[in-house]
Amino acid sequence: MKVEEKREALIAFMYAKAKAIANATGGKVVPEEYFREEDEEEIRSWRPRDVRAAFKEIEATTEMGVDGDALWCPFCALWFNSCEDCPYGRRHGRCEVGVLDNSYGIVINALKGSIVYRLGLDELRAMWVESKQIARKQIAGEV
């Protein structure tokens, strides 16, 4: 897979998670609270090596079936444990249960726990596979 396909897959995956979170919360969370246009623009600005690194991390997480929320996030793959430096973390906040003063806190609290716990590993894996298929079609001009 070429870098641009990987970039599109990361973006599609984040949008898919945002939609799934909105559905899982019965609409208490709007998709933009999890992933919005500024986040997409940020991923589009990443250097090819950053895109490859984030993609590789999510690919490995998918294969291993790891259940930590941060391991399913391309931003956390690049800025792990450095939310203050992460553009996503600055926009959305840290991923801590009980914190309500940021959009990520609203997401986590509406889900009553982690994204992985509420959506499930199988659903996340399916979303990742579908996101890669969407990316291939976009790059090929089929979408």
77-128 per-position pLDDT tens digit: 898 877 778 898 888 877 655 566 677 777 777 777 667 667 777 888 888 8
From CA 141, how far away is CA 143, in angstroms rounded? Answer: 6
Q: Which residue has the tokens 């939609």?
A: 19
Which value, to the nearest 10 degrees, does the dihedral of the CA atoms of residues 132, 134, 137, 143 take? -170
**Backbone dihedral region of 81: left (phi > 0), alpha (psi from -120 to 50 degrees) or beta?**
left
Cα four-point dihedral sign 57, 55, 68, 94: positive
What's the pTM value of the predicted model, to 2 decimals? 0.87
Residues in the chain: 143
Q: What is the pLDDT of residues 34-62, one digit of tens each?
A: 899 999 999 999 999 999 999 999 888 88
Q: Is 104 left (phi over 0), alpha (psi -120 to 50) or beta?
A: alpha
What H or E segment, with its residue span, contains residue 12?
Answer: helix 3-24
Residue 92's H or E segment, with its range, is helix 87-92
